[in-house]
């Protein structure tokens, strides 16, 4: 019925089954804009498939500039959400410029930052933890990829947590070739880790995997984030033994996005893309409780996502 509803919605958007469409054509009136279809994040599920209670909560957010996001009260939302670990992407902030509001946060005594070497105000990721990881590493061990502050890995007793800001193929796809080598090397890095301990990968993976993951698939086949090459790269990551937690739980859910361009009032219209993910090693799947899209939280062109699991 969901599919039929979507078809009907598309048809009405094309003006095919509007009762008054013939009259509208005669008077050359602009057609009524369709009401946006929003996604309502359902109540959090706090029990796993195998009956365990969630005891780990991770939040990931592409903040599109840490300093501006702090000014927009992003930290108020974080304190309310209260995750065990907070992962941030696109901090765009050199270490010396980190806002005191976040560096002094007592809730997260263990804070890790990775900034872009050459370009200040570009890329950058962070991980803030309530409990200290056993070990923290930066990058993926390949020099060509590790200058832009894109990956932090924290080892916990029962799993690794990796947060990533995956390179954007960029306007005109000028970085698509680079992105393809990144995808291969990043997959190899994760596969190596997964041999030692299962992992959670979170962050802005800069790809909408399937047509259901963006509002306008037909018009974006050649756009960064929805090229066949990037989608295939993501499929290969899943084939390597990782699961898209949101789709595991909500395989048919449409209109669930995590990014909306600032242009054309896209967020109010919910014309978006799902670019932010929690991927889990298959051995962690039985402990998956919920994968949330917090699309009411403002402060960036992405919204935060939250994972509940039992570890």
Point out the residues that are catalytic: 165, 204, 302
Q: Residue 59's closest CA among 299, 290, 310?
A: 290
Task: Pull the structure tokens for residue 184.
Answer: 């291969």
Positions at the binding site: 62, 90, 204, 206, 301-302
Spatial contact of 27 and 21, defined as CB atoms under 8 Å apart: no
SS3 content of the chain, % helix, strand, coil (to 5): 30, 20, 45
The burial of 106, by beta-carbon neighbours within 10 Å (0-12 exposed, 13-18 middle, 19 or more buried), is given as exposed
Positions at the binding site for Mg(2+): 62, 90, 204, 206, 301-302
Spatial contact of 110 and 133, defined as CB atoms under 8 Å apart: yes
CA–CA gap between residue 122 and residue 147 (Å, rounded)? 11
Spatial contact of 272 and 266, defined as CB atoms under 8 Å apart: yes
Q: What are the phi and psi torsion angles at 135 (to 5°)?
A: -160, 145
C-alpha pair distances (Å), 62 with each of 104, 193, 254: 20, 24, 21
CA–CA gap between residue 162 and residue 306 (Å, rounded)? 14
Spatial contact of 304 and 294, defined as CB atoms under 8 Å apart: yes
Helix ranges (DSSP H) in the chain: 2-13, 21-27, 66-71, 74-81, 100-103, 176-196, 228-239, 245-249, 266-269
Q: Which residues make beta-bridge pairs with 291?
A: 307
CA–CA gap between residue 185 and residue 219 (Å, rounded)? 29
């Amino acid at each position: 019925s969901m599919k039929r509803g979507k078809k009907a919605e598309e048809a009405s958007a094309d003006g095919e089954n509007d009762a008054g469409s013939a009259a509208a054509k005669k008077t050359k009136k602009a057609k009524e804009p369709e009401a946006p279809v929003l996604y309502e994040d359902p109540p959090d599920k706090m029990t796993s498939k195998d009956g365990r209670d969630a005891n780990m909560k991770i939040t990931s957010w592409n903040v599109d500039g840490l300093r501006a996001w702090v000014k927009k009260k992003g930290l108020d939302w974080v304190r309310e959400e209260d995750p065990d670990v907070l992962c941030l992407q696109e901090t765009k902030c050199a270490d010396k410029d980190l806002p005191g509001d976040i560096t002094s946060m007592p809730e997260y005594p263990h804070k890790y930052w990775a900034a872009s070497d050459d370009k200040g105000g570009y890329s950058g990721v962070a991980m803030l933890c309530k409990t200290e990881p056993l070990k923290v590493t930066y990058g993926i061990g390949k020099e060509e990829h590790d200058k832009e502050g894109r990956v932090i890995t924290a080892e916990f007793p029962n799993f690794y947590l990796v947060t990533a800001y995956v390179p954007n193929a960029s306007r005109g796809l000028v970085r698509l070739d680079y992105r393809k080598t990144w995808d291969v090397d990043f997959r190899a890095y994760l596969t190596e880790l997964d041999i030692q301990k299962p992992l959670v990968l979170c962050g802005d993976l800069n790809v909408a995997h399937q047509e259901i993951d963006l509002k306008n698939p037909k018009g974006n086949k050649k756009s960064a984030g929805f090229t066949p090459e990037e989608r295939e790269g993501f499929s290969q990551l899943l084939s390597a033994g990782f699961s898209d937690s949101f789709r595991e739980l909500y395989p048919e859910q449409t209109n669930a996005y995590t990014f909306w361009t600032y242009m054309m009032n896209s967020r109010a219209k919910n014309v978006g893309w799902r670019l932010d993910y929690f991927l889990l090693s298959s051995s962690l799947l039985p402990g998956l409780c919920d994968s949330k899209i917090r699309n009411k939280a403002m402060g960036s062109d992405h919204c935060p996502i939250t994972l509940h699991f039992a570890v």
